[in-house]
Amino acid sequence: MKKILLACLIASFFLVGCNRAPSQNSTETTESSLSHSTDSSTNTQTSALSSSDRSSNQSEFSTASSDTATSIEQPKIDSVSASEFGGYATFYFNGMNVPDSININTNTNQITFNANTNNEAVYNLTMQNMPVKTVRIFSANTNEIRTVKVSTMISIGDQLSGPVNTNNKSGALYLFHNKHGGLSLATPNYAGNVQEDETDIMIEVLQ
């Protein structure tokens, strides 16, 4: 009888041990799976952060490059040389109480107001580059007021021929490049029909 009880006890211990082993294995498997999942999530987050950092750096670099390109495209000095227009260019006015035209001839160093009319007047001229100056102008065709930077000045000297008109010598003229790539001439506002706070505004004249 004792042998039978002993055999039963041994069998019971054996069964308990077998059940415990799979449970432990299952627990270890679950812990391993959780560890792997956590590591995978951490790696994914780290990779995402790294990609975000790279994207941010690329964006900053792109912005810096764009700013640099923009600053390069905007020249600080807009000088005009006589060779650009062959030393001879005529600019035509629109409106009342202004000249019909102004012709610049650097080959003879002469400037002509109202060429080929009864009011044609010829003067000596001096064309020279100067430090950049900001002027306000009435835009050609639209009369919109805008600001431009000029650095090529034309000074009017002694009169050589034609009727006397003091208005023609009321100030210096400036050559500059307009947004269409052509040349513009900024002249005094010969008409003078402006408010007191606009007396400095010049007229833009095109070829």
Per-residue pLDDT of the chain (207 residues; tens, 9 = 90+): 444 444 445 545 444 444 444 444 444 444 444 344 444 444 444 444 344 444 444 444 444 444 433 333 335 688 999 999 999 999 999 989 999 999 999 999 999 999 999 999 999 999 999 999 999 999 999 999 999 999 999 999 999 999 999 999 999 999 999 989 899 999 999 998 899 999 999 999 999
Domain extent for 38? 1-74
Q: Judge contact between 154 and 104, C-beta under 8 A.
A: yes
- Domain shared by 86 and 104, yes or no: yes
Question: How big is the CA angle at 172 (ends 166 and 174), to the nearest 5 degrees?
Answer: 140
Phi, psi of 47 (to 5 degrees): -65, -40
* R_g of the chain computed on alpha carbons: 43
**CA pair distance 59, 48, nearest whole angstrom:** 16
**CA pair distance 1, 143, nearest whole angstrom:** 125
- Domain shared by 101 and 185, yes or no: yes
- Domain shared by 129 and 150, yes or no: yes
If one counts the domains in the chain, the total is 2
Question: How big is the CA angle at 203 (ends 200 and 205), to the nearest 5 degrees?
Answer: 160
What does the pLDDT read at residue 10? 52
- Domain shared by 93 and 59, yes or no: no
What does the pLDDT read at residue 133? 96
- Domain shared by 14 and 109, yes or no: no
pTM: 0.64
Among residues 47, 74, 101, which one ends one of the domains? 74
**CA pair distance 150, 30, nearest whole angstrom:** 78
Q: Judge contact between 126 and 157, C-beta under 8 A.
A: yes
Judging by DSSP bridges, how do beta strands 202-206 and 121-138 pair with one another?
parallel
